[in-house]
C-alpha cells in the first residue's frame, strides 16, 4: 500500500513534541512491513534537501496566490520525505511561534501547506491513503471533499485524521475562512464553525473518513464534556468512525540494552547496570552518594497543569516528608519552575533540578530512577511511562488516556501489576499511591517482579502499525463507489449528516 503522512513536524527533520516521534516511528514500522511510505512536511529552517521536484506550484489563499516549491529530503530507512518549501512561511526560528506567542499567520501557513500536499499528490506521488495529523493538516480532508470533490485524480482518496491532543484545535477569527480560500458555505454547524470562530480541527473531524486518537481510553474520554474541549458533541456524532490506536515506541532508541546515553547498559536478566545508572544520575543532579539506597523518583516533563503539577504543588511538603529523592528535568510554567526550585533549595540533598530540555539527560533519568511520576490531568497517550516500563523504572501515573492503557495497577494481594495508578484527580490520591509505591519498594522481591513484568511488555510500533493498516484498508473500502442509497447516513463527501457544537 502507498501511504502518505501529512504532518506539521516529524523526525529526523523537525520536532517540538511527541508528534514528531510518532510520525517517525510509525512511518518506519510501516516501511519495515513492506508498505511504500512518504512523509510530507513543511521545510523549516535547517532542513536539508537533496532535490527540487517542482520549482513552483500555484496555491490560492483568498484573493492572493502563493508559489511554494516541492522538494525532497534524504530518505531514512526506506521512508521518503517531501517538503512544502516556502521560506517566507517556514524559514523561521520556531515551527509554530516564538517564545511569546503563536505566529499570527498560522492559519495561512498551514492552509498553504495543506493545499501544497494535495498538489504534491497530484503531480509527484499519488498515495492509496492519506494520513493527516492534528489541526495543522485537518484542511486536507476538507479540501478533498469540497474543492477537489470533482477532481478525478484525488477525489476518491481515503483519509485518516489522528488527534494527538484535542486541546489544540486551530481556532481563528471567522473572517480567516475567506483569507485561506474557503467557501462561506463551510462556515456552518456541520462544517468549520465553532461558537462564531473558525475551527480547523473540527472541519477535519467532520470530513475525514476515519478519526483516530493515540490510545483507546483517550478515544472514550474526548466524547465527554470533561475532556472534549467543546468538541465532544461533534466527536460523539462520529463515534462509529473513531478508533483508539495506542502509540508505539522505538526500542532501538529507548531500551536499556542498547541505550548509548546511559552509564551502563542492562537488561531484565542482568540489572546490575541499573544501579550504576542510578549512581550516575545522582552525580549528574548533584545529589549525595548515600541516596543510592533511597527510592529515587524521576520526572521528565513539560511543567503545566495538564501534566498534573498542580497536584504535585498541593502535596509537595507532604511528599518531601517521605524517605525519597527527586530528579526533576523539565521546563514550562514559571510557577512550577519556581516550585521545584524552592524544593531544591529547601531539600538540596534530596531534590535535584535541571530546568530545560535535554534528550541525553532524559535517557539518564529513565535508566537511573527507581520510579517515574506522571500525574497528568489528561494524557492522550504518553511515551515516558512506556519508556519507564522498559527501563525497569516503575511508573506512578494517573489513570487517564494512554497512561491507563499501558500501566497495570499493582495489587499487593495478587502480586500482579506493572506500576501504581490513581483515578481521582486530587493531591491526596497522588500521595497515597506514591506511599504505596514506597512501601512496595522496601519489599525487594515484590519490587523486582514489578520491574520484570514492565520490562517484558512490548509496546513497539509493530502492533500499532498493523492496526493502522487495517484501518487504512477500511477507509479505502469506504471510497469504493456504492450504489445509490447505500451510504447509511454518510454523505458522498464522507462526513456525517448531523453534527453539533
Q: Give residue-wise pLDDT tens across range 361-387.
A: 999 999 999 999 999 999 999 999 999
DSSP conformation class of 410: P
Q: Say what the pLDDT of residue 357 is.
A: 86
Q: Which residue intervals of the chain bear CATH 3.40.50.2000? A: 2-248+464-478, 272-456
pLDDT in tens, 208-234: 999 999 999 999 999 999 999 999 999
Strand ranges for 214-265 from DSSP E? 242-244
Q: Say what the pLDDT of residue 484 is.
A: 56
Please state, in angstroms and rounded to a whole number, the distance separating the CA atoms of residues 236 and 362. 37
CB atoms inside a 10 Å sphere around CB 237: 21
Percent of the chain clearing pLDDT 90 (strictly above):
93
pLDDT in tens, 70-89: 999 999 999 999 999 999 99
Residue pointed to by grid coordinates 506511599: 435
- Would you identify the CATH topology of the domain 2-248+464-478? Rossmann fold (3.40.50)
For the cut 70, the answer to whether the pLDDT of residue 427 exceeds it is: yes
Task: Give every CB contact of residue 402 below 8 A, 6+ residues apart in sequence.
Answer: 214, 215, 217, 218, 246, 247, 379, 380, 381, 382, 385
Average pLDDT over residues 284-288: 97
Average pLDDT over residues 263-289: 97
Which residue did the predictor score with more confidence, 159 or 493?
159
Q: Say what the pLDDT of residue 201 is.
A: 98
The model carries a pTM of: 0.90
For the cut 70, the answer to whether the pLDDT of residue 313 exceeds it is: yes
For the cut 80, the answer to whether the pLDDT of residue 495 exceeds it is: no
pLDDT in tens, 52-67: 999 999 999 988 999 9
pLDDT in tens, 88-132: 999 999 999 987 899 999 999 999 999 999 999 999 999 999 999
For the cut 70, the answer to whether the pLDDT of residue 359 exceeds it is: yes
483 pLDDT tier (thresholds 50, 70, 90)? low
- Would you identify the CATH topology of the domain 272-456? Rossmann fold (3.40.50)
E strand or H helix at 146, and its extent? none
Between the CA atoms of 138, 307, 448 and 390, what dihedral angle is there, to the nearest 10 degrees? Answer: 30
Pick from 77, 74, 73, 83: nearest CA to 25: 77
Q: Say what the pLDDT of residue 482 is.
A: 66
Amino acid at each position: 500500500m502507498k501511504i502518505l503522512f501529512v504532518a506539521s513536524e516529524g523526525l529526523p527533520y523537525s520536532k517540538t513534541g511527541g508528534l514528531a516521534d510518532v510520525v517517525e516511528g510509525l512511518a518506519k514500522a510501516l516501511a519495515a512491513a513492506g508498505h511504500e511510505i512518504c512523509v510530507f512536511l513543511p521545510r523549516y529552517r535547517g532542513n536539508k534537501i537533496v532535490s527540487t521536484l517542482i520549482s513552483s506550484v500555484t496555491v490560492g489563499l483568498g484573493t492572493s496566490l502563493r508559489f511554494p516549491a516541492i522538494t525532497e529530503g534524504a530518505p531514512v530507512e526506506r521512508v521518503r520525505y517531501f517538503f512544502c518549501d516556502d521560506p517566507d512561511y517556514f524559514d523561521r526560528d520556531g515551527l509554530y511561534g516564538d517564545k511569546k506567542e503563536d505566529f499570527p499567520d498560522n492559519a495561512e501557513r498551514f492552509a498553504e501547506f495543506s493545499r501544497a500536499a494535495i498538489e504534491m499528490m497530484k503531480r509527484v506521488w499519488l498515495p492509496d491513503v492519506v494520513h493527516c495529523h492534528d489541526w495543522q493538516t485537518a484542511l486536507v480532508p476538507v479540501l478533498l471533499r469540497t474543492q477537489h470533490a470533482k477532481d478525478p485524480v484525488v477525489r476518491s482518496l481515503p483519509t485518516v485524521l489522528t488527534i494527538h491532543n484535542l486541546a489544540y484545535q486551530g481556532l481563528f477569527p471567522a473572517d480567516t475562512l475567506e483569507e485561506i480560500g474557503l467557501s462561506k458555505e463551510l462556515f456552518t454547524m456541520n462544517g468549520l464553525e465553532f461558537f462564531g470562530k473558525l475551527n480547523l480541527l473540527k472541519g477535519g473531524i467532520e470530513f475525514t473518513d476515519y478519526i483516530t486518537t493515540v490510545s483507546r481510553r483517550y478515544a472514550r474520554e474526548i466524547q465527554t464534556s470533561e475532556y472534549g474541549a467543546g468538541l465532544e458533541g461533534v466527536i460523539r456524532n462520529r463515534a462509529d468512525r473513531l478508533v483508539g490506536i495506542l502509540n508505539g515506541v522505538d526500542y532501538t532508541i529507548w531500551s536499556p540494552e542498547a541505550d548509548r546515553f546511559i552509564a551502563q547498559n542492562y537488561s531484565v536478566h542482568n540489572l546490575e547496570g541499573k544501579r550504576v545508572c542510578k549512581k550516575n544520575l545522582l552525580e549528574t543532579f548533584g545529589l549525595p552518594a548515600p541516596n543510592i539506597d533511597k527510592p529515587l523518583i524521576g520526572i521528565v516533563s513539560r511543567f503545566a497543569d495538564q501534566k498534573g503539577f498542580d497536584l504535585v504543588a498541593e502535596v509537595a511538603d507532604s511528599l518531601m516528608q517521605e524517605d525519597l529523592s527527586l530528579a526533576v528535568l523539565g521546563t514550562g510554567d514559571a510557577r512550577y519552575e519556581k516550585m521545584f526550585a524552592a524544593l531544591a533549595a529547601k531539600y538540596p540533598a534530596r531534590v535535584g533540578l535541571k530546568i530545560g530540555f535535554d534528550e541525553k539527560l532524559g535517557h539518564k533519568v529513565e535508566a537511573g530512577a527507581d520510579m517515574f511520576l506522571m500525574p497528568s490531568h489528561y494524557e492522550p497517550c504518553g511515551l515516558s511511562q512506556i519508556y519507564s516500563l522498559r527501563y525497569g523504572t516503575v511508573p506512578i501515573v494517573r489513570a487517564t488516556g494512554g497512561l491507563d492503557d499501558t500501566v497495570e495497577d499493582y495489587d499487593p494481594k495478587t502480586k500482579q501489576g506493572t506500576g501504581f495508578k490513581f483515578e481521582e484527580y486530587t493531591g491526596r490520591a497522588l500521595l497515597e499511591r506514591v506511599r504505596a509505591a514506597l512501601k512496595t519498594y522496601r519489599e525487594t522481591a515484590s519490587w523486582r517482579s514489578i520491574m520484570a513484568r514492565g520490562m517484558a511488555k512490548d509496546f513497539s510500533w509493530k502492533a500499532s502499525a498493523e492496526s493502522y493498516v487495517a484501518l487504512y484498508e477500511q477507509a479505502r473500502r469506504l471510497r469504493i463507489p456504492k450504489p445509490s442509497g447505500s451510504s447509511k447516513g454518510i454523505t458522498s463527501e464522507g462526513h456525517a449528516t448531523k453534527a453539533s457544537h
